[in-house]
Amino acid sequence: MPRFNAGMAFDLARGRTVLFGGGGGGGFLADTWEWDGNEWTQTADMGPTGRDAHAVAYDSNRQRTVLFGGSGTNGDLADTWEWDGREWTQIADTGPVAQRFPAVAFDSKRGLVVLFGGGNTWVWDGNEWTQEQDTGPGARATPILAYDTIRDRVILFGGASGAGFLNDTWEYDGTQWTQVADTGPSPRTFHRIIYDGANVLLFGGFNADVDPVSVFGDTWAWDGKRWTQLQDIGPARQQFGMTYDTVRKRAILFGGSRKDLGLGGDTWEWFDHSLPAP
């Protein structure tokens, strides 16, 4: 079903992209699907309540897909769930405040899911949430995170604040946040960033501060020092789901809102030909 703001993560142990929920069909969705590189299969319709704007990351140490928060029928949520490939289990209902569009990434060096939202940084160890920082990037809507496994840094780009759309880049080393760039992709929100084993890749997004309103279809790479544009064509959209298939070496994109404001139910893959073939 076409949808926006679905949560996606790649289950390395099982070699599947996991997708949960999103908005579509006039309501909040609560279905779980998996992509094997050829087709989508619905694997569950029970678990977390229907929602969109939630955060999803894969904990490769514990082999669990972790879901936090989002927005549902009764407002913003603060529950934590885990998917083991067979069923969802609610693990916690305390921790970060209820919120839409928290950003998460799995820090494989420390074995922690890192969450940024509302200007605060939290970590999940599989049992409880612990707040690590209340300083760093300013509070913003729809921040996006990815984890650079070579440099051991969580990367944050952009989002939207009361002052407008942002294009700042920050890195978190587990101790402190450092702003490392204010140039590169144009200011935007509702984009996605992922890590492909060599670079952090950024795709798409939205900016309402320009005329006409922009829905982007550009692709950028962050190497730890600078942003480089790789392509300026693609399925321009915002509010889509995206993850990186580390087995097949593909970025996977599903759905979102297109330039014509219609919802997509299509699946796209990005392959960097400079990387070794899978």
- pLDDT reported for residue 275: 54
| CB within 8 Å of 127: residues ≥ 6 apart | 91
pLDDT beyond 80 at 231: yes
Per-residue pLDDT tens over the stretch 3-16: 999 999 999 999 99
The upper half-sphere exposure of residue 237, i.e. CA atoms within 13 Å in the direction of its Cβ, equals 23
| CB within 8 Å of 218: residues ≥ 6 apart | 185, 203, 204, 229, 231, 232, 233, 234
Q: Where is average pLDDT lowest: 66-70, 85-89, 178-182, 269-273?
A: 269-273
The upper half-sphere exposure of residue 197, i.e. CA atoms within 13 Å in the direction of its Cβ, equals 15
Please compute the mean of the pLDDT values over residues 78-95 and round it to a whole number.
97
Alpha-carbon gap, residue 187 to 197, rounded angstroms: 25
- pLDDT reported for residue 273: 57
For residue 147, how far is the Cα from the chain centroid? 11
Residue ranges and CATH numbers for the domains of the chain are 7-270 (2.120.10.80)
The pTM assigned to this predicted structure is: 0.95
Per-residue pLDDT tens over the stretch 107-137: 999 999 999 999 999 999 999 999 999 999 9
If you average pLDDT over every residue of the chain, what do you get?
A: 95
Residue 176 · residue 133 · CB < 8 Å = yes
- pLDDT reported for residue 208: 86
pLDDT beyond 70 at 254: yes
**What residue has token string 């580390």?**
246
pLDDT beyond 80 at 76: yes
Tokens of 70: 């989002």
Confidence of residue 72 (pLDDT cuts 50, 70, 90): very high
Alpha-carbon gap, residue 182 to 271, rounded angstroms: 27
- pLDDT reported for residue 209: 85
Residue 102 · residue 156 · CB < 8 Å = no
What percentage of the chain has pLDDT greater than the value 90?
Answer: 91
- pLDDT reported for residue 278: 52
Pick from 176, 110, 120: nearest CA to 143: 120
pLDDT beyond 60 at 62: yes
Q: Where is average pLDDT lowest: 3-17, 52-66, 184-198, 204-218?
A: 204-218
